[in-house]
Structure 1
Amino acid sequence: MRAAGESDDAILARLRNLAPVEIPMRATGLPYGLFLDAGTPAERANADAVAAHMDALMRVPTIKAGAVMPDACPSGSQIGTIPVGGAVACENAIHPGFHSSDICCSVAVTIFKRDDDPSRVLDAVQRVTHFGPGGRADAIRPVFEGTEAFSDNPFLKDLETVALKHFGSQGDGNHFAYVGRLKSTGQIALVTHHGSRGLGAQLYKRGMTAARRHTAIVAPEVPAHNAWIEADGREGRDYWRALQVVRSWTKANHAIIHAMVREEIGNPVDDAFWNEHNFVFQRDDGLFYHGKGATPSWSGYAADDDGRTLIPLNMSEPILIVAHRDREGSLGFAPHGAGRNASRSRHLRENGDALAAELAALQASGLDIRSYCGIPDHSELPSAYKDAASVRAQIAKYDLAQVVDEIEPCGSIMAGDWERDAPWRKGR
C-alpha cells in the first residue's frame, strides 16, 4: 500500500480491519502408532502416562501423524508434552519443544584397528575430555567448519563463545563414553553419547520464544509447550538453518573427542559412524519429522547416513548396531535406548541402599564403571531402565530396526552425581 502511494492513515485503517484467522485445536486427537508393550504394573503405569500425553499431543493442529517407541516414557508433567520415545510428523511447522533443549542428542562410534586394553581407552577419555556442566578450561580451536553462520543467523548470533567453550566436552545425566568389543570381530570400540551442550540449550530457548510468539497469535488455544515456528516463514527458515549448524557442531564434537582419544592411545581407526536420535528431519513428503529420543530408521535420513545407527541400552548391556527398516506405522523411527518406567527421584527413593550393592556387583563382574566427578549417579544404573531384553524383543516384534552387530560392554564413564558436591549444596 505504501508503494502504491497510500497514506499511513489508510494503511492503519486496513490493518484494523484485518482479523487474524485462529487455528483451533482438534476436538479429539489423531490416532498414532503404538509400539510399546507393557507387562508389569510399572510398565502399565508408564504406558498409561505416555498414552495420556500422546492423546493430548495429537490434538495439536500441525501434527499429521505420530508414533510411540518401545522405550517411551513421559518427559514432562504438562499434559501433551511429547514423551521420550515419541515421534510426530508436522506440516509446515517446527516445534522446538518436540526436540527439547538437548538438540541433536546423538551417539558416535570408533572401531579401532588394533587390540587394546579397554581400561587404557577409558583412561584416555578421562584425560582428553570433560563430563558434567560447564565447558573446557582449555578451548579447542578451530571449533568446526561453519562458524561463520553464527553472525548471519539471528538464532545463533553471539553464541560463538558458548560453542567454543563447550567444544570437546561431554554432558551429564545419561551422557556417557562406553568402551566395548565388537561381537563379530572382538575389536575395541569407543561410543560417545551427548548432545549439543550449551549451544543447543541456548538455541532451544530462542526457538521457544519465537514459537510462543507466533503460536499465541495464530493458535492461542495451543499450549505454550506445543508452540511452533512456521517452517516456510523467515523465522522458520532461519531456525532450520540454525538446527543444521548445531547438528554440524555436535557431529564435530563427537569427532574431536574420538580423535583426541585415538591420538592418546596411538591406535588407528578401522571404522566410524554416528547418528542423532533427538532432532527434526524433513522427508520427501515435505513434512517435518520430530523424533524426541527416537532413532531414524530410513535410508537417506541425512546426507551422511551410511545405513547403520546405534541403539544403547544400559551400561551393562551391548550397544546395538542396527540397519534401517523404515516401518510406516512408526514414521520410520526406532527406539533410541531402553527408556525408564519411573523418574530418577522415584527410582532413588524406592531402591535406596540396594543401588550401591548393584553398582558393586557390576564392578565385581569385571565392568569398569566410572564417575567423572568421583560420586556415582545411582539413577543411571541398569535397574533405572526398562528391561533391555524386552526392548530388544519389541524392536524385533515390530520390525523397527535390524540388529547387524553388537558392541559388548567393557566399561563406561558418566559425569556422576556432581550435584551432590556442588558449591550451592555445600553452602546449604
Structure 2
Amino acid sequence: MITGKDLIQWGFKPGKWFPGAIADAQRMEGEGRSQDEIFAHLQTLMPVEMMPRTNALPFGVFLEAENDVERDNLGLVVEAMDALLRTPTVVSGVVMPDACPAGTIPVGGVVATRNAIHPGFHSADICCSMAITVFKRNDDPKKILDAAFEITHFGPGGRKDQRGWAMPAELSARFKANRFLSDVTAIGDSNLGTQGDGNHFLYVGHLRSTGQPAIVTHHGSRGPGAMLYKRGMAVARRHTAIVSPKTPPGAAWIEADTPDGRAYWDALQVIREWTKQNHFRIHDRIQAKLGNQIADRFWNEHNFVFRRDDGLFYHAKGATPSFDGFSPDDDGRTLIPMNMSEPILIAGHADKKAALGFSPHGAGRNMSRTRYLREVIGSRDFDDVVKAETNGLDIRFWLGTPDLSELPAAYKSASQVVGQIERHRLATIDDFVDPYGSIMAGDWQKDMPWRDRR
C-alpha cells in the first residue's frame, strides 16, 4: 500500500495536502492504476505556493486630510492598504473619503479579487446596511420615534419574546440547505427584529424634497452573520495555510470556484436576504402601529462582497456601491448616513471607474473610540457633553446610558465628506433625510463585564 514515505521518495514535499494525496493514491492503487498514473495525478494536487507581492499594487485614494489628526488617520489607512494590496489574489483597491483603519482592511476600503472571497475583508458584520421607509401621512415625528422605541431591540443576543419574529419558511429552508448555515436557524429566528450596538441606529426624519416623514435603520446581519464569518474564516485559513502560508491570516481566502467557495457565496446571499427582512420587519411593525401608509422604501448594503460583470469579487468594507445592478433589488438609489445630528444622503449611482464604482458609507472616524474618549471628552461633565452634542434633537439610548463615542463630534466633518463625494463625483446627491431624532444602543459596558476585562 502506498504511504507517505513513498510520496516523499517520489519527490513530493510533505504538507497539509498530504493526507488527501495519500488517500487518492491508495484509492487509485486499489483500482489497479499504474504508479505513473498515480504520480501524474498527485502532481495536479500538489499546491503551488502563492507568494505575497514584494510591492503593493497602486490604489486610488479619495480621502483628503485637512489637519494633523486627519493626516495621521490617512497615513494609517494608506499603510494598511499598502499591506493589503500585496495579497496575491487582489487585483485593485481604493480608499473612500470616510476611511479609517480597522484591522486587516480599513473601513472605507474596497478591494477587487480574482477567484477569491476573503471573509476578513467583510468582517463579522456581514451586510451592514441601510433601509428607509417613507410614510404617506405627515405624522408627528415624536409619535414615530415613540413607536420605534417600543418595537426595535438593541443589544446582545436575540429577543426573549420571539412571537411573530421568526423567519418565514422559505428563508428557513435556505438556511437549512446551506452547510455553513444549516444549524443557525434558531439564531436567525431569535435575532430578527434586533439591531446591535456601536454605530447602528434607528433614525427618524423628513425628506427635504417633500416633507414626508421617514424612518431609516442601520445594522447588519447580527448573530447569523457573525456565525457565517467565523466559519468562513476557518475554511479560508485552512486553505490559505496550504496555498499561501506567508499571507497574513486576516487576508485568508476561499477559492470562489470550489465547492467551499460556491457554498460560501450562496451563504452570503442567504444572509443578505435575512438582513433585508430584518430591516423591513422592524419597519413594518412601526408602520402597523402608526396606521400610516408606506409611500416608498428601498435599502442597500455597504459591507459586503459584490460580483461585477468582469468576474471579480469586490469586497467593500464600509463602502456604498455606486454602480447599476449591484444587487437584484437595486433601484438606482443608496443611503449614506453621516451622524445623528446630520442629514442622511439619498444618493444616485455615479460608477466612477477610478473608485471601482463605490462611494463612502458615512462620515467615518479620525481616531479610535478610546482615543476620542480620552483626548476629546476627557474629564468634561457627562451631561453637559450629551446636551451640547444632541441639542434640539430627540436622541434616545435603548440601553439607558448614552454612548459618548457615538456623539457627532466623534465623527469626521459631514460637510467635508459630502464635499469630497461631490468633488470626486463618487455619487450624485439627490435628496436628504433631515433629522428629528434617533435611537442607538447606548453604552452597555456595565452589562458586559468581559469588555472591562479586555
Q: TM-score, normalised by structure 1?
A: 0.95
2 CA distance for matches of 1:356 and 1:222?
47
Structure 1 residues 141 and 392: CA distance shift in structure 2, 3 A = closer
> Structure 2 regions of 5+ residues with no counterpart?
1-24
Question: Which of 375, 379, 385 pairs up with 1:358?
Answer: 385
| Paired residues of 1:356 and 1:378 also in contact (CA < 8 A) | no
| Paired residues of 1:91 and 1:287 also in contact (CA < 8 A) | yes
| Paired residues of 1:50 and 1:72 also in contact (CA < 8 A) | yes
Structure 1 residues 266 and 92: CA distance shift in structure 2, 3 A = same
Structure 1 residues 64 and 6: CA distance shift in structure 2, 3 A = same
2 CA distance for matches of 1:236 and 1:415?
35
2 CA distance for matches of 1:381 and 1:142?
33
Residue 136 of structure 1 pairs with residue 179 of structure 2: no
Question: Which of 220, 226, 230 pairs up with 1:195?
Answer: 220
2 CA distance for matches of 1:86 and 1:290?
8
2 CA distance for matches of 1:232 and 1:386?
40
SS at match of 1:412: strand
Structure 1 residues 374 and 142: CA distance shift in structure 2, 3 A = closer
Q: Shift of the alpha carbon at 1:19?
A: 3.7
What amino acid is the match of 2:425? D
1 CA distance for matches of 2:452 and 2:362?
34
Question: Which of 318, 327, 333 pairs up with 2:343?
Answer: 318
Structure 1 residues 49 and 427: CA distance shift in structure 2, 3 A = closer
1:82 maps to 105
2:417 maps to 391
Q: Shift of the alpha carbon at 1:50?
A: 0.2
Residue 412 of structure 1 pairs with residue 438 of structure 2: yes
What amino acid is the match of 1:49? L
Q: Shift of the alpha carbon at 1:322?
A: 0.4
Q: Shift of the alpha carbon at 1:427?
A: 11
Question: Which of 50, 54, 64 pairs up with 1:37?
Answer: 64
1 CA distance for matches of 2:101 and 2:374?
18
What amino acid is the match of 2:167? V
2 CA distance for matches of 1:231 and 1:283?
14
Residue 63 of structure 1 pairs with residue 90 of structure 2: yes
Q: Shift of the alpha carbon at 1:362?
A: 4.0
1 CA distance for matches of 2:33 and 2:269?
40
1:373 maps to 399
2 CA distance for matches of 1:143 and 1:89?
33
SS at match of 1:148: helix
> Structure 1 regions of 5+ residues with no counterpart?
none
What's the % identity of the aligned pairs? 58
1 CA distance for matches of 2:135 and 2:64?
37
Q: Shift of the alpha carbon at 1:152?
A: 1.9
Aligned ranges 1:125-274 → 2 under 5 Å: 125-139=148-162, 140-144=164-168, 145-274=170-299
2 CA distance for matches of 1:23 and 1:147?
38
1 CA distance for matches of 2:94 and 2:453?
45
Q: Shift of the alpha carbon at 1:401?
A: 0.5
2:18 maps to none
Q: TM-score, normalised by structure 2?
A: 0.89
1:118-145: CA deviation from partner (whole Å, max 9, x where unpaired): 1211111111121111110121344144
Question: Which of 314, 328, 337 pairs up with 1:289?
Answer: 314
RMSD of aligned residue pairs (Cα, Å): 2.0
Count of residues paired in the alignment: 423
| Paired residues of 2:195 and 2:219 also in contact (CA < 8 A) | yes
SS at match of 2:195: coil
Q: Shift of the alpha carbon at 1:418?
A: 1.1
2 CA distance for matches of 1:84 and 1:423?
27
SS at match of 2:374: helix
| Paired residues of 2:389 and 2:407 also in contact (CA < 8 A) | no
Residue 93 of structure 1 pairs with residue 116 of structure 2: yes
Structure 1 residues 270 and 329: CA distance shift in structure 2, 3 A = same
SS at match of 1:157: coil
Q: Shift of the alpha carbon at 1:400?
A: 0.3
Q: Shift of the alpha carbon at 1:228?
A: 0.3
1:47 maps to 74
| Paired residues of 1:275 and 1:309 also in contact (CA < 8 A) | yes
1:65-101: CA deviation from partner (whole Å, max 9, x where unpaired): 100000000012xxxx110000011000000000000
| Paired residues of 2:205 and 2:436 also in contact (CA < 8 A) | yes
| Paired residues of 2:389 and 2:408 also in contact (CA < 8 A) | no
| Paired residues of 1:34 and 1:69 also in contact (CA < 8 A) | yes
Structure 1 residues 409 and 302: CA distance shift in structure 2, 3 A = same
Residue 72 of structure 1 pairs with residue 94 of structure 2: no
2 CA distance for matches of 1:412 and 1:303?
29
